[in-house]
């Protein structure tokens, strides 16, 4: 065990020395890693926000509306509300009176609202708006609700919601594919960079082997060098991406259109998740890159 500790201390020292002595190459590697991670961050940012936008939009249609018959007593209405609330998958139920519904409609129509003034009597029914825990429960809830007395109609934007769901799913999938491809590509770029570093030090590795060094003894300092490069590359990428996102977010909030910001993932949340992703990837890429790219040269 004392042997191992010694090797590890030696590796750390050599790794730091190595990345400092090959400063130029280290800088090249770090900028490459940072660049690729930044690109990844940008794409992640785009995808996550499109996703967030869809989710929020979808949420607005994510309800079932139960129109009540016109001549129900208050007690009947309350009973219906309670029955609905007890159904599995129902998150909340709230009562929307016919007056309130007309009011909402007027507001929603804005400039055209005056058209509704021309109505002789309020044609809208009282209704319950049912919020679901998840879209998956929709069909089940609708079926159960339809068995209740006193309902005139069950309105449910099934087609619309399903379209939005389809689009959201597609965007999420496309996003995942793009991010997956990007991770692969960045692995590739970084592995190549480190491979070039290793090729440039091929002779050195050969010499180590001739002096009787084991593969792990040779590999360790390179891995630590790779880790150092990964950490520094990640740090730069995290800094730039965080700062950039905060800047864009603030810009949108203040200058462009405040309403968009509602659909965006807030800066702290985004920064926290992207920082973890970038750090894990950067370090992983650095270490794995070293190991992969050294394989060939250890067979001497």
Partner 1 sequence: MIKFLNVTKQYQEDKMALSDMTVNIDRGEFVFLVGPSGSGKSTFIKLLLKEIDPTIGKIKIDGKDITRISQRKIPHLRRKMGVVFQDFRLLQDKTVYENVAFAMAVINTSPKEIRRQVPNVLALVGISDRANMFPHQLSGGEQQRVAIARAIVNNPSVLIADEPTGNLDPETAWETMKLLKQINRRGTTILMATHAKDIVDMMQQRVIAIENGKIVRDDQKGVYGYED
6 in contact with partner 1 (CB under 8 A): yes
Give the HSE-up count for residue 137: Cα atoms under 13 Å, Cβ half-sphere.
16
Helix runs in the chain, H state only:
2-21, 23-59, 74-85, 98-109, 114-117, 138-146, 158-200, 202-210, 215-251, 258-263, 267-294
**Closest separation in Å from C-beta 10 to partner 1:** 6
CA–CA separation, 149 vs 38, rounded Å? 58
121: tokens are 């009597």
From partner 1, a copy of itself, none, interface partner of 19 (C-beta below 5 to 8 A by class):
none
Beta bridge partners of 207: none
From partner 1, a copy of itself, none, interface partner of 133 (C-beta below 5 to 8 A by class):
none
204 in contact with partner 1 (CB under 8 A): yes
8 in contact with partner 1 (CB under 8 A): no
Nearer to a copy of itself, 10 or 170 (CB): 170
**Closest separation in Å from C-beta 7 to a copy of itself:** 28
Q: Site for partner 1 (CB under 8 A): which residue of 135, 178, 189, 213?
A: 213
Query: Which positions lie near a copy of itself, rule CB under 8 A?
Result: 24-25, 28-29, 31-32, 35-36, 38-39, 42-43, 46, 105, 111-112, 114-116, 118-121, 123-124, 155, 163, 166-167, 170, 174, 178, 181-182, 185-186, 188-189, 192-193, 195-197, 199-200, 248, 252, 256-257, 260
24 in contact with partner 1 (CB under 8 A): no
CA–CA separation, 132 vs 112, rounded Å? 31
Count Cβ neighbours within 10 Å for each residue of 129-154 and write b for 16 or more, e otherwise: ebebeebebbeebbebbeeeeebeeb
Q: Site for partner 1 (CB under 8 A): which residue of 145, 208, 220, 281?
A: 208
272: tokens are 């926290």
237: tokens are 């990428």
CA 149 to chain centre: 43
Q: Site for partner 1 (CB under 8 A): which residue of 108, 121, 255, 299?
A: 299
**Closest separation in Å from C-beta 221 to partner 1:** 11
Number of residues that bind partner 1 (CB under 8 A): 23
Nearer to partner 1, 172 or 209 (CB): 209
CA 55 to chain centre: 11
Contact 129, 65 (CB under 8 A): yes
Binding residues vs partner 1 (CB under 8 A): 3, 6-7, 10, 18, 21-22, 201, 203-204, 206-215, 217, 299-300
């Amino acid at each position: 065990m004392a042997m191992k500790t010694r090797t590890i201390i030696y590796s750390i020292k050599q790794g730091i020395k190595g990345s400092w002595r090959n400063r130029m190459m280290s800088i090249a590697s770090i900028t490459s890693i940072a660049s690729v991670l930044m690109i990844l961050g940008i794409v992640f940012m785009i995808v996550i926000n499109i996703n967030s936008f869809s989710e929020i939009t979808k949420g607005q249609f994510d309800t079932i509306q139960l129109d009540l018959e016109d001549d129900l007593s208050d007690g009947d209405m309350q009973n219906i509300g309670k029955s609905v609330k007890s159904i599995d998958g129902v998150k909340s139920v709230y009562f929307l009176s016919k007056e309130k519904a007309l009011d909402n409609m007027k507001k929603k129509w804005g400039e055209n609202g005056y058209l509704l003034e021309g109505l002789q009597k309020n044609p809208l029914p009282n209704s319950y708006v049912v919020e679901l825990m998840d879209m998956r429960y929709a069909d089940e809830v609708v079926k159960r609700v339809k068995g209740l007395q006193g309902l005139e109609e069950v309105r449910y934007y099934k087609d619309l919601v399903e379209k939005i769901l389809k689009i959201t799913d597609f965007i999420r999938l496309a996003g995942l594919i793009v991010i997956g491809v990007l991770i692969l590509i960045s692995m590739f770029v970084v592995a190549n960079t480190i491979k070039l570093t290793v090729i440039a030090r091929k002779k050195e590795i050969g010499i180590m082997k001739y002096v009787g060094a084991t593969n792990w003894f040779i590999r360790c300092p390179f891995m630590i060098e790779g880790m150092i490069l990964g950490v520094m590359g990640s740090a730069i990428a995290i800094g730039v991406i965080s700062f950039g996102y905060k800047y864009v977010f603030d810009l949108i909030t203040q200058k462009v259109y405040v309403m968009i910001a509602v659909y965006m993932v807030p800066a702290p949340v985004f920064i926290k998740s992207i920082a973890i992703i970038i750090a894990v990837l950067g370090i992983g890429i650095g270490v794995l890159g070293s190991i992969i790219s050294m394989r060939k040269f250890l067979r001497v």
